[in-house]
Amino acid sequence: MTASTELDRLCAELGLAEVPASWRATWNLTATFDDDMPVLDPSWVAAAGQAIGLEAEATRALGDAASELAQRPGLIRLMRHCHHELFVAREPAPGSWPTLPGTSAADRLFHALVLLSGWPRLERRHRARGIPSDITRATLADFAMRLREHQRKHGQWGLDAHGWLSRHFRDRIYQLGRLQFETAGAEKTVHVYQDDDGEVALLAAPGSAFRADGLLASAFAGDAPVAFTAALSIDAVRIVGHPFDRDGLVRAEPIVLDARRWRCVLRPGDPVLAVHITAYGPMDDAACSASFAQALDFFPKHVPEHPFAAFTCVSWLMDGQLARWLPADGNIVRFLRRYHLFPIEGADATQHFERIFGGAVDLATAPQATQLQRVLVAHLRAGGRWHRGGGLILRGG
């Protein structure tokens, strides 16, 4: 049987509407892939759940799903393939991996078990790096949180965030105190310069198209025309480019830097640490400072192959307008003000709504329980728009 025929039959059997196109080429590689799959054994799942600090109820649900999965050859075949893609071939994050339409425990927790199947490799990698086991457990607490979130939302154990969590299980993200840090490449929209006195200037990447409001042309699904396209010219004497203002919006008027005093310290794709904030309650300013300090110590020691030049954050939290609506001494504004802001591709307010209301809401009936919920609505009612943005802190300060 050819690889595609077997894959097509499996898709039909499992009710999968679509699989990633790349699987047509890689499917036959895993036909004979015979990695040890202890995750099919519920007693192994119980021990792994305990090792990573999962709550007992979640571990039991995963164990039940594993028992069921072990009786379903089609799902086992799919699991071998997913495991190989994630942990052996290390293909890109599976944001678009198919969700199983079935409703049994094995269907709902299939991706969670695929992730857990990577635990032995992750544990070996972390120990080889000398990473303390409490950091491994803290990092995987996000897995526990997402499982619990699904249970709370749908009344059943399951997992939606497998693409995101594949970063944790593939040794790309670490929870260091309040914040998470991910090894990543710098955003393609910005070039960063620094002068002899340590002053920093962010300049728009050449060729980036901007709207009149200072956002990239792709913001809000491109609902405004392109106002200008950024240029960046550099010679022995002058660097001429378009800077971003305090709110992270581009200025059409270029600035000129003295090339003898300013040097480029970050280009698109250079190694950075992307900062993420989990929903573990408030993000106290002192706790954030401690996390950044911990990252400066941790990465050179444990992940030396990633000589990051900056911390970056792409988030609704990097919307400079928040600083006009929320108190300057609040956690959100203090966090925002640590960064130099810049615009990102495809910026819109979707994430604001997701993180503040749990999804899209009608403004007339949106909950108004917190200050942030109130200002989100007030700004929109006043004719404003919220947009996600990017932020950057150079490693040296």
What x-and-dash track marks residues 352-371 binding ligand COA by CB under 6 A? ---xx-------------xx
Range in contact with ligand COA (rule: CB under 6 A) among 64-72, 267-275, 329-337, 339-347? 329-337
Q: What is the total count of residues that contact ligand COA (CB under 6 A)?
A: 16
* Of residues 259 and 372, the one with the C-beta less far from ligand COA: 372
C-alpha–C-alpha distance, residues 166 and 157, integer Å: 18
Place of tokens 């900056």: 310
283 forms part of the interface with ligand COA (CB under 6 A): yes
From residue 267, give the alpha-carbon distance in Å to each of 189, 191, 231.
Answer: 9, 5, 15
What x-and-dash track marks residues 230-269 binding ligand COA by CB under 6 A? ----------------------------------------
288 forms part of the interface with ligand COA (CB under 6 A): no
Of 31, 35, 43, 33, the residue nearest 3 (C-alpha): 31
* Of residues 218 and 373, the one with the C-beta less far from ligand COA: 373
Candidate list 47, 372, 380, 394; residue touching ligand COA; CB under 6 A: 372
Least distance between ligand COA and beta carbon 362 (Å): 17
15 forms part of the interface with ligand COA (CB under 6 A): no
Least distance between ligand COA and beta carbon 41 (Å): 35
The three-state DSSP-derived secondary structure of the chain is: CCHHHHHHHHHHHHCCCCCCCCHHHHHHHHCCCCCCCHHHCHHHHHHHHHHHCCCHHHHHHHHHHHHHHCCCHHHHHHHHHHHHHHHHCCCCCCCCCCCCCCCCHHHHCHHHHHHHCCHHHHHHHHHHHCCCHHHHHHHHHHHHHHHHHHHHHHCCCCCCCHHHHHHHHCCCEEEECCEEEEEEECCCCEEEEEECCCCEEEEECCCCEECCCCCECCHHHHCCCCCEECCCEECCCEEEECEECCCCCECCCCEEEECCCEEEEECCCCEEEEEEECCCCCCCHHHHHHHHHHHHHHHHHHCCCCCCCEEEEEEHHHCCCHHHHCCCCCHHHHHHCCCEEECCCCCCCHHHHHHHHCCCCCCCCCCCCCHHHHHHHHHHHCCCCCCCEEEEEECCC
Of 29, 48, 51, the residue nearest 40 (C-alpha): 48
Place of tokens 């939606």: 160
Least distance between ligand COA and beta carbon 262 (Å): 31
Candidate list 132, 268, 282, 396; residue touching ligand COA; CB under 6 A: 282
* Of residues 110 and 174, the one with the C-beta less far from ligand COA: 174
Least distance between ligand COA and beta carbon 282 (Å): 3
58 forms part of the interface with ligand COA (CB under 6 A): no
Least distance between ligand COA and beta carbon 257 (Å): 31
Least distance between ligand COA and beta carbon 192 (Å): 21
289 forms part of the interface with ligand COA (CB under 6 A): no
* Of residues 100 and 288, the one with the C-beta less far from ligand COA: 288
Question: Tokens standing for 243?
Answer: 């800077």
* Of residues 100 and 377, the one with the C-beta less far from ligand COA: 377
Candidate list 277, 295, 336, 347; residue touching ligand COA; CB under 6 A: 277
Candidate list 331, 350, 385, 394; residue touching ligand COA; CB under 6 A: 331
317 forms part of the interface with ligand COA (CB under 6 A): yes
373 forms part of the interface with ligand COA (CB under 6 A): yes
328 forms part of the interface with ligand COA (CB under 6 A): no
* Of residues 7 and 317, the one with the C-beta less far from ligand COA: 317
Within 128-157, the residues that bind ligand COA by CB under 6 A are none
Catalog residues that contact ligand COA under the rule CB under 6 A. Answer: 277, 279, 282-283, 315, 317, 326, 330-332, 355-356, 370-373
